[in-house]
Amino acid sequence: QKSLDKYDTEIAEHDAELAKLAQVMEEIKAKIGDIEWSEVPDKITELQEERKSQGTRLDELIMITTKLTKEVSDKRAENTRQNGRLADIRKKIALNSKVGAITTVDSTWGFVIVNLGANNSNVTPQSKLLVSRNGTLLGSLKPTSVEATQTVCDLNARDLKSGVRIQPGDRVTLAESVGN
């Protein structure tokens, strides 16, 4: 009796294992569809080749994406640089139209002070300044010292119309526009 029970137990265990194997077989059949068992190795090889091909394609797409991302980054940096340059040019153009005035005239020492300087206009030591009063050109001035907000110019009679005296309040503009 004991040995029969033992065999019954072993049979039950084997039946359970067979049921598990049958379940695994059904899962495999469901996944591979209507492929015959003899075709499985070929199908595996085919899928491995497809996976390899897709991996290669993925690597190519990653390289292209990396290249395009770098190009976009470079273009944005160039755009930022050009926008900064454009802002500088616009600032210089705006400063070209800046109109100043004579603030001080010293005939004894032969100089005038103009309220245009390096920070508020495009005046440089090489600039030529035009002096006018009521829309009439009186002459030109040559800067000798350009400071932040004012410029000292020599007062030279040969650069002025004959008989003209420069006075505080006379208008001063740049003779030539400064570009970029």
Q: How far apart are CA 143 and CA 154, in angstroms?
A: 7
Q: Residue 139: inside a domain, yes or no?
A: yes
Q: What is the pLDDT of residue 1?
A: 63
For residue 37, give Cα distances in angstroms to 40, 41, 146, 147.
Answer: 5, 8, 94, 94
Domain membership of residue 67 (yes or no) is no
- Tokens, residue 74: 């470079």
Domain assignment of residue 6, given as a range: 2-34
pLDDT at 10: 87
Measure the CA–CA gap between 119 and 150, rounded to whole angstroms: 9
CATH of the domain at 139: 2.40.10.340
- 125 within some domain: yes
Whether residue 75 lies inside any domain: the answer is no
| DSSP H or E run through 114 | strand 111-114
In a domain, 18, yes or no: yes
Distance CA 174, CA 126 (A): 11
The verdict on residue 62 lying in a domain is no
Query: Is residue 170 one of the residues assigned to a domain?
Result: yes
Domain tally, the chain: 2
- Tell me, yes or no, whether 39 lies in a domain: no
| pLDDT score, position 119 | 85
Per-residue pLDDT of the chain (180 residues; tens, 9 = 90+): 677 888 888 888 998 999 999 998 888 777 777 777 777 788 889 889 999 999 999 999 999 999 999 999 999 999 999 999 999 888 877 776 788 999 999 988 989 999 998 888 888 899 899 999 998 999 999 999 999 999 999 988 888 898 889 999 999 998 887 655
For position 7, what pLDDT does the model report? Answer: 83
- The beta strands (E) that lie in the chain are given as 100-106, 111-114, 129-133, 136-146, 151-154, 171-174
Question: What is the SS3 assignment for 136?
Answer: strand
